[in-house]
Structure 1
Amino acid sequence: MPFNMFTTLVLLTGLLISAVRLEDCFQQHFPDNGIVCVCNVTHCDALAIDKIANPGTVVSFESDITGKRMRKTISSLETLTININHSSTFIMHIDKADRRQKINGFGGSFTDAAGFNIFSLPENMSRRLLQDYYGSDGIEYSIGRVPIGCTDFSRKNYSYDEVDGDFDLKHFALAPEDHLYKIPMIRMATNFTNRQLKLLASLWAPPIWLKTNNRHNGMGIIRGDPGGPYYRTLAKYHIKFLDEYKKLGIPFWAITSINEPAGGLKPHWHNPSVGASPEMIRDWIKHDLGPLLESSGYGKDKLHLIIHDEIMSLLIHYAKNILKDPEANKFVSGVGIHWYEYGFEPYTPMNLVHESYPDKFLISTEACEGWGGNFQGVRIGNWTRAETYAWDIINNLNHWGTGWIDWNLALDPLGGPNYVLNVADSAILVDAKNKVYYKQPMFYALGHFSKFLSPGSIRLGFSDNIDHPMIKVTAFLDTNGQVIVILLNRKEEAIVASIAGVTNEPFQVALSPRSIKTLIVPSSSLSSSTPKP
């Protein structure tokens, strides 16, 4: 289980490298330029910020490697207007009439590990942590992913019906983990958000008697063929989960077909899983899952079915082979993508799916840093991980993505609990022993998108002359009629961006080295064009 031993030692012993106060964020510094904002029983920074820009101004929020966290600046357009004698690093021209996909939202996952960590804190801190994610004074998440049963980020394997041969699922019952962790987190998030909370359910592993290997983990598929009793029961299993949560007043916005179906086809796969080829999923949807969803009151007008829920390199393979079948296609609303090939270039598979199936939305359904290789586990306060998040989010959005869902809402200093030792990093880390939690740079990177791009925001087309691979930009029209521009500078030196097409005259903004900046630009002359599909 590789992880940064020195970082772990620092956390577990409570050794304070240095602590300073920066505005409302109480900063704690760790080795290798690691900076976090510390929350304890009496103090936690909040993001209760005004997101409206007055006419004649540009409002910016910047976070960077030196410790800025959503640093707000209000500038007059007059002072930002370009002097032709001043050079710019690049020019971005936004086309306000070129309106593309709408945002579904941003969010994180209500895993068992997240619940275990969050509820290990004093009650007021548990509430504050979820408010940091979903509240109007937090980063305003609008999506929550909910595992159907266990994941690797559980403390043990479990499902909701382990009575062999119970094809009618008479013994189906939610687990203690649902009542202790998932449901309380969902209810808190619902109470805190001023947006409609969209819940997305995903299955890792079904009851073991449905699988060929008779185990939650490892390589194994559903017994028999789609249309048969085992696949039919798998569809019923999804319906039972939706029904049980509905009885508790918790409706779902979407489900995915199967989480990472290619994983369960691999020998020595350690995570809870069920393997499925695209052809298996296609036939299961058209013979079992799709019709049963409709007959149970969960048709497309009530619940979205998202396919794939897998890595980018398999996107075309799964999407094409499922969606080319009209009987399966008619039940599907969206396509989910996991980021575990970060750096996968180009992102053109997303373009190809959109071009072939423009009525299906694309959304990133799972992401986390520190998930494998030599960099597995927690790197507390690491700014590079904030940059990789922002990089992937911008690329997804610029290739027709409608949102981005982080993995665990909170982990412990070791990157768990995870019963298969597949530890990872998280935007928030909980040190229950010392009654503190740490808001990492990744948390604020996510906020540069989730707080400003509310559901219904529309991506705007743009052109640019960026010739450096460490710079990324995107632009949106928010639900208040303002233009939101998000810029990422991964260079070691400051840059200057010229923004044209939004206001009467182009204007310039500076970005600090290694920084993320969100701009709010008021605009009263937007075209009334409708979004492109």
Structure 2
Amino acid sequence: MKKITAAMMLVTAAFAAEAADVRLISSTPAGQWVDCGSIELAEYDNTVSHDVMVTRYGAQTMLGFGGCFNELGGKALKSLGKEERQRVMEMLFDSEDGLNFSVCRTPVGANDFATEWYSYDETPGDFELRKFSIKHDKKYLIPYIKEALAINPSLRIWASPWSAPQWLKTNGHYSNRADAINGLDPSKEVPTGNDQMILEPEYLTTYSKYLSRYVTEYKKEGIDIFMLQFQNEPYTFNIWPNCSWTPAGMTKFVGSYLGPEFEATHPDVELWLGTLNTDRFDHVETMLSDEAMSRYIKGVGVQWEGKDIVKKISETYPHLPIIQTENECGDGSNDWGAAEHTYWLMKKYIEDGAGMYMYFNMVLGDDCRSSWGWKQNAMVVVDTKSKKATFTPEYWLMKHFSRYVQPGARRLITLGNNYNLSAFENEDGSRVIVVFNPDETVRNMSVSLGCDGVMNLSLQPKSFNTLLITE
């Protein structure tokens, strides 16, 4: 095991301060969010080496943690009684007892966890959008968002479409892959690597105005959209709502249509490149090297296959924030193993430079199945018969990060055998360390805080742990 020497520890000497207070919170399969009390700091000794050193040198700024408001989640919540529903929402959004989520995503029209396919204007040829309406969202989705905002009025909301209205697309269908469940003719499939949008000026102009209108109508509902990522997974080929794009198509749309439209109508709304589900960094380079497109792009969002290029994007475009936009959603198991898988994903994304981590289904009902047959995991599962909610292991994992790591925190550089540890410093000077013990046995670790002292930890088997350090 690699150890940290006294010479390495000198880099933190300049930050020495009065004695720090350390509190440990731990979760295991047997018990979650257990306050283990204070951890006594051992005195710094320059003759002793340690497993990990947490420096006070910062990397990227953290922008927040959150999840996606999906329609099936809103429907499941609506099946609960008032008190239980309020309890669930507070467990997600309350800053003291909940996850303290600070930023969330919402779909523009139907996604794969909508109750059915819909868009805000399915009238062919309605280029002036006279039939545009968000009425569908007022049943489940908008009430879901408003309940969250009532608990945390500072919650920031960003949006992304899964599919444009069908009549704006080359195959006239919400999906690009044929299946009995969606009724798409196999001859009308649009595999990845093709533009499913009709790239004619009238169609792209209408779609840019459609997205602008969405922001306007949501604002009328008291929901401010601060950021738009114009396509969820442009590289997907699947049976639910989606839309294939090529880099050339995306560049044309943003640079000549969407960018100018939002500059004129919603200059306060950020346009980001995303959500990219590809490891093709050359495609990212192609798009961001286009002058017309890049002038409008304020950041990059990635998910799934995109995790493999986070570090490269962060290093190549240090002026652009990069965020993770959707977790790998699982298969409905909602078990401890799923939480462990998500931990490693969070660790990779954050260590590689992502400033935000987004869970997908915050809430689902019963068997956690989408309207297109895909079972996924959720942080909260609602039993619609008993009218009770269960909090899954991934809920508690998210809390180990989101409860104390605030927007504006810096990820701290760590040295040594740090594969299972991440550290952050909030703007108020408090530090947060999240460490995972994947072993079946107790793991002993020594973690140096430099001249602030040393934590000698005995981590329970299969445990997620948060250390809150205040001075």
**TM-score in terms of structure 2 length:** 0.88
SS class of match (1:200)? strand
Counterpart of 1:73 in structure 2 is: 36
Query: Which of these residues, 26, 37, 40, is aligned with residue 62 of structure 1?
Result: 26
CA deviations over 1:229-257 (Å, ceiling 9, x no partner): 11111111110100001112211121112
Q: CA deviation at 1:102?
A: 1.2
Q: Percent same amino acid at aligned positions? A: 26
Query: Which of these residues, 146, 152, 164, is aligned with residue 187 of structure 1?
Result: 146
**Distance in 1 (alpha carbons) for counterparts of 2:207 and 2:318:** 29
**Distance in 2 (alpha carbons) for counterparts of 1:143 and 1:329:** 24
Does the aligned pair in 1 maintain the 2:362–2:380 contact within 8 Å? Answer: yes
CA spacing shift, 1:55–1:191, aligned 2, 3 Å:
farther
Does the aligned pair in 2 maintain the 1:460–1:477 contact within 8 Å? Answer: yes
Query: Which of these residues, 268, 276, 295, is aligned with residue 264 of structure 2?
Result: 295
**Distance in 2 (alpha carbons) for counterparts of 1:222 and 1:175:** 26
Q: CA deviation at 1:324?
A: 1.2
Does the aligned pair in 2 maintain the 1:461–1:475 contact within 8 Å? Answer: yes
Matches within 5 A, 1:335-346: 335-339=300-304
Does the aligned pair in 2 maintain the 1:473–1:485 contact within 8 Å? Answer: yes
Does the aligned pair in 1 maintain the 2:235–2:277 contact within 8 Å? Answer: no
Does the aligned pair in 2 maintain the 1:235–1:288 contact within 8 Å? Answer: yes
Query: Which of these residues, 59, 66, 80, is aligned with residue 107 of structure 1?
Result: 66
CA deviations over 1:453-497 (Å, ceiling 9, x no partner): 11111111121135xxxx511111013211111111212222122
CA deviations over 1:482-519 (Å, ceiling 9, x no partner): 11111112122221222223543322122111111111
Establish whether residue 225 from structure 1 lines up as the match of residue 199 from structure 2.
yes
**Distance in 1 (alpha carbons) for counterparts of 2:63 and 2:126:** 37
Q: CA deviation at 1:132?
A: 0.9
Counterpart of 1:307 in structure 2 is: 273
CA spacing shift, 1:303–1:502, aligned 2, 3 Å:
farther
Which amino acid letter does the alignment assign opposite residue 445 of structure 2?
A
Query: Which of these residues, 210, 215, 230, is aligned with residue 257 of structure 1?
Result: 230
Counterpart of 2:11 in structure 1 is: none
**Distance in 2 (alpha carbons) for counterparts of 1:383 and 1:201:** 30
SS class of match (1:411)? strand
**Distance in 1 (alpha carbons) for counterparts of 2:358 and 2:197:** 31
CA deviations over 1:99-122 (Å, ceiling 9, x no partner): 221111111111111111111111
Which amino acid letter does the alignment assign opposite residue 221 of structure 2?
L
Does the aligned pair in 1 maintain the 2:169–2:198 contact within 8 Å? Answer: no
Which amino acid letter does the alignment assign opposite residue 107 of structure 1?
G
CA deviations over 1:186-215 (Å, ceiling 9, x no partner): 111111126x21101110111111001111
**Distance in 2 (alpha carbons) for counterparts of 1:193 and 1:509:** 35
Query: Which of these residues, 314, 325, 333, is aligned with residue 379 of structure 1?
Result: 333
Q: CA deviation at 1:74?
A: 2.5
Does the aligned pair in 1 maintain the 2:382–2:388 contact within 8 Å? Answer: yes
Counterpart of 1:213 in structure 2 is: 171
Does the aligned pair in 2 maintain the 1:338–1:367 contact within 8 Å? Answer: yes
**Distance in 2 (alpha carbons) for counterparts of 1:158 and 1:281:** 23
Counterpart of 1:270 in structure 2 is: 239
Matches within 5 A, 1:383-532: 383-416=336-369, 418-466=370-418, 471-523=419-471
CA spacing shift, 1:507–1:184, aligned 2, 3 Å:
same
CA spacing shift, 1:387–1:84, aligned 2, 3 Å:
farther
Counterpart of 1:41 in structure 2 is: none
Establish whether residue 153 from structure 1 lines up as the match of residue 122 from structure 2.
no
Does the aligned pair in 2 maintain the 1:211–1:223 contact within 8 Å? Answer: yes
**Distance in 2 (alpha carbons) for counterparts of 1:289 and 1:56:** 50
CA spacing shift, 1:224–1:215, aligned 2, 3 Å:
closer
CA spacing shift, 1:354–1:168, aligned 2, 3 Å:
same
**Distance in 2 (alpha carbons) for counterparts of 1:289 and 1:444:** 39
Does the aligned pair in 2 maintain the 1:477–1:484 contact within 8 Å? Answer: yes
Q: CA deviation at 1:224?
A: 3.8
**Distance in 1 (alpha carbons) for counterparts of 2:455 and 2:88:** 38
**Distance in 2 (alpha carbons) for counterparts of 1:511 and 1:311:** 35
Which amino acid letter does the alignment assign opposite residue 335 of structure 1?
V
CA spacing shift, 1:63–1:283, aligned 2, 3 Å:
same
Q: CA deviation at 1:312?
A: 5.0
SS class of match (1:113)? helix
CA RMSD in angstroms, aligned pairs only: 2.1
Does the aligned pair in 1 maintain the 2:229–2:271 contact within 8 Å? Answer: yes
Q: CA deviation at 1:180?
A: 1.3
**Distance in 2 (alpha carbons) for counterparts of 1:102 and 1:188:** 28
SS class of match (1:433)? coil
**Distance in 2 (alpha carbons) for counterparts of 1:412 and 1:379:** 13
Counterpart of 1:354 in structure 2 is: 314
Does the aligned pair in 1 maintain the 2:234–2:277 contact within 8 Å? Answer: no
Gapped regions of structure 2 (runs ≥ 5)? 1-17, 177-188
CA deviations over 1:57-95 (Å, ceiling 9, x no partner): 210111113x221111222534x4578999x9x611122
CA deviations over 1:336-362 (Å, ceiling 9, x no partner): 1113x5xx9xx6621211121111111
**Distance in 2 (alpha carbons) for counterparts of 1:365 and 1:281:** 18
**Distance in 2 (alpha carbons) for counterparts of 1:389 and 1:331:** 32
Matches within 5 A, 1:111-126: 111-126=70-85
**Distance in 2 (alpha carbons) for counterparts of 1:84 and 1:319:** 46
Which amino acid letter does the alignment assign opposite residue 391 of structure 2?
K
Does the aligned pair in 2 maintain the 1:57–1:74 contact within 8 Å? Answer: no
